[in-house]
Amino acid sequence: MAALDAMRLVDEELVLEGDPWRNLATFVTTWMEPEAQRLIAENLYRNFIDHAEYPISAEIEQRCIRMLADLYHAPGETTGCRTQGSSEAIMLGALSLKWKWKERQEAAGKPVDKPNLVFGGDVHVVWEKFCRYFDVEPRIVRLREDKYVIGPEDVEPHVDENTIGVAAVLGTTFTGHADDIVGINDLLLRIKDEQGLDVPLHVDAASGGFVWPFLYPHSEWDFRLEQVRSINVSGHKFGLVYPGIGWLVFREKADLAEDLVFYENYLGKTDATFTLNFSTGASMVLAQYYNFVRLGREGYTVVMQAMEQNAKALAAKLEDNGNFDLIGAEKEQLPLVAFKLREGKDYDEFDVSWQLSAERGWMLPAYTMPPDAQEVKVMRALVKETLSRAQVDRLAGDIDEACETLEKKGGAHPQERHKMKRSPGY
Ligand SMILES: Cc1ncc(COP(=O)(O)O)c(C=O)c1O
């Protein structure tokens, strides 16, 4: 097949994909500036792991880590790594928790066969995946119909000497709120004081790590809190880089278990690696650095504030039209709107999502909350850089119209219901 034909063939297939400009489901970046796109395209051949051949890319990774460590108030010299996304960062961070726990137990002459990890039902699926893949008992705090994040009172009954760590979320996938990280840190300090158990706290800041420092700089969730030993963040979410780039940052070098670092020299120079993957592109590391130097703290603040203002405008319109209640709009939250239908409708959130997609092609997900709040249905619209204020007005109008259609015709047919997507999107 000729190159042109092959390209057309692939392009033709892709026409059927969802339109990123109407994708309100994903947290992941769908647009970057042309200069960033050029940088990415020009560096696609570069294998990031070849540190001997591409030492500057490796240096740029280290600079990004130092900038993030500074942003997250690390007390001194630290360490970390670039990953494929938050999932890889979480796997590596949680492995380090497991190894450090083993070291503590062995030093005390205690058994190492029953590790457990404590987290809430509000976490991303990757935390359960880690537990299954790496043989750790998940101790999951269940949600309630009126409580979608966790706090110290939920964590306390689950912590014991086999707890490798507690994971708390900054900006949940479901409603965009934060667990009570200050409260959990205080609890872990009290347990250290009273029982001598030093249980580390990992913050899953996949989305929140690029939002809280700019929208809520005085809110403490990072290394300002003593028990926070490691943090993951997705560069490809609010870090504003295309997929896939994530970051793992430790509080101190000693928080990374040395046993997990491998040294090899077959690419031309002895190199330390702490990754689940090996070969991977350098482009997204360079694109992250581009954003850091292009935007700086001030620029990220401007972008986050613009998204937040647009999210608030959408929230106000949805509330005014009388069909929806907002979920936790008065709390610190990612730039999104989480909402549910008011009582007494003949249709549900899945119907609205379906109708809106049929009428205007918006992808605005509906889903049920995790146990024990599984009866609660939620809709969630990400308000990203690409959703302008004018588009917010149009979207609010389109949601109204979808509701009007449903008022007249009732909910979706069972055949249609059968085809509806029920995941929160990523
Ligand atoms: C809170 C949270 N943690 C982890 C992840 C997984 O991140 P990634 O897609 O970067 O692997 C997500 C993705 O949506 C998330 O929202």
* Cβ of 204 below 6 Å from ligand 1: yes
CA of 307 to the centre of ligand 1 (A): 19
- Could you tell me which residues come within 8 angstroms of residue 317 by beta carbon, excluding any fewer than 6 positions away? 392, 393, 396
* Cβ of 175 below 6 Å from ligand 1: no
Instruction: Report how far residue 31's alpha carbon sits from residue 27's, in angstroms, rounded to the nearest whole number.
Output: 12
* Cβ of 85 below 6 Å from ligand 1: yes
* Cβ of 208 below 6 Å from ligand 1: no
Instruction: Report how far residue 29's alpha carbon sits from residue 244's, in angstroms, rounded to the nearest whole number.
Output: 10
Instruction: Report how far residue 57's alpha carbon sits from residue 48's, in angstroms, rounded to the nearest whole number.
Output: 7
* Cβ of 169 below 6 Å from ligand 1: yes
How many Å separate Cα 216 from the centre of its chain?
Answer: 17
Task: Tokens for 67, please give them.
Answer: 């900038």
* Cβ of 84 below 6 Å from ligand 1: no
The pLDDT assigned to 47 comes to 96
* Cβ of 380 below 6 Å from ligand 1: no
14: exposed, middle or buried (C-beta count within 10 Å: 0-12, 13-18, 19+)?
Answer: exposed
Closest by Cα among 139, 134, 136 to 159: 139
* Cβ of 241 below 6 Å from ligand 1: no
* Cβ of 382 below 6 Å from ligand 1: no
Residues in the chain, overall count: 426
Q: What are 166-215's pLDDT values in tens digits?
A: 999 999 999 999 999 999 999 999 999 999 999 999 999 999 999 999 99
Q: Which residue has the tokens 């990890």?
A: 117
Instruction: Report how far residue 81's alpha carbon sits from residue 139's, in angstroms, rounded to the nearest whole number.
Output: 27
180's enclosing H/E stretch is none
Q: Which residues of 164-197 are buried (b: 16+ CB within 10 A; e: fewer)?
A: bbbbbbbbbbbbbbbbbbbbbbebbbebeeeeee
CA of 198 to the centre of ligand 1 (A): 27
Q: Please say whether the beta carbons of 73 and 187 come within 8 A.
A: no
**Which ligand 1 atom minimizes the distance to the CA of 170?**
1
CA of 284 to the centre of ligand 1 (A): 17
Q: Which of 200-209, 218-227, 242-251, 253-262 has the lowest mean pLDDT?
A: 253-262
pLDDT at 426 exceeding the cut of 70: no
User: Running DSSP on this structure, what letter comes out for residue 419?
Assistant: T
CA of 343 to the centre of ligand 1 (A): 31
**Which ligand 1 atom minimizes the distance to the CA of 243?**
10
Task: Tokens for 378, please give them.
Answer: 């939620």
Output the DSSP codes for 386-415.
TS-HHHHHHHHHHHHHHHHHHHHH-S--HH
Output the DSSP codes for 215-274.
H-TTS--STTSTTEEEEEEETTTTT---SS-EEEEESSGGGS-GGG-EEE-TTSS-EEE-
* Cβ of 170 below 6 Å from ligand 1: no
Closest by Cα among 76, 39, 35 to 57: 39
Single-letter residue type at 176: G
Q: What are 127-170's pLDDT values in tens digits?
A: 999 999 999 999 999 999 999 999 999 999 999 999 999 999 99
Q: What are 274-306's pLDDT values in tens digits?
A: 999 999 999 999 999 999 999 999 999 999 999
The pLDDT assigned to 307 comes to 98
* Cβ of 167 below 6 Å from ligand 1: no
Q: Which protein residue has the closest C-alpha to ligand 1 atom 13?
A: 426
CA of 329 to the centre of ligand 1 (A): 22
* Cβ of 234 below 6 Å from ligand 1: yes
Instruction: Report how far residue 362's alpha carbon sits from residue 353's, in angstroms, rounded to the nearest whole number.
Output: 8
